Copies of this chain bind each other. A is one copy, B any other.
Amino acid sequence: MEKEDALNALAALGQETRLDVFRLLVKAGKEGMTAGAISDALEVRPNTLSTHLGALSRSGLVHAERDGRSICYRADLQTMQVLVTYLLQDCCGGNPELCAPIASIAAGKICDTEGSC
């Protein structure tokens, strides 16, 4: 991942409405949500939301797919993975122990509710 990509993704998430949108889509899972449904859920005007969805899209954190009249948005967790990897690059160079807390991000911690993760 290039620095500019990481910067775009982080700046995208560093704004309240967009963070809300991303987390909502993470929860929505593979089914995603239409722009309208997101607008209703978060009570954000459609045109304002559209601007934010554009930013999230450009950063690769979400993807859009047209479905009839609606457009369905889904979170891209792989971009998140690449982003975190970028942020922690070279963290083990001199001091492996610093990475220990990060290792616990793995399956166990995030996916407690589902044994299969």
Number of copies: 2
| 24 interchain pairs, CB-CB under 8 A | A7-B15, A7-B16, A12-B14, A23-B87, A26-B87, A26-B90, A27-B91, A27-B93, A29-B93, A77-B88, A77-B91, A77-B102, A85-B105, A85-B109, A90-B113, A91-B111, A92-B110, A92-B117, A93-B113, A96-B114, A96-B116, A99-B110, A99-B111, A103-B106
Q: Which residues of B contact A101 (CB under 8 A)?
A: 77-78, 80-81
6 closest Cβ pairs, A-B complex:
A11-B14, A106-B106, A10-B14, A29-B95, A14-B14, A92-B114
* B-binding residues in A (CB < 8 A): 3, 6-7, 10-16, 19, 22-23, 26-27, 29-31, 75, 77-78, 80-81, 84-85, 87-107, 109-111, 113-114, 116-117
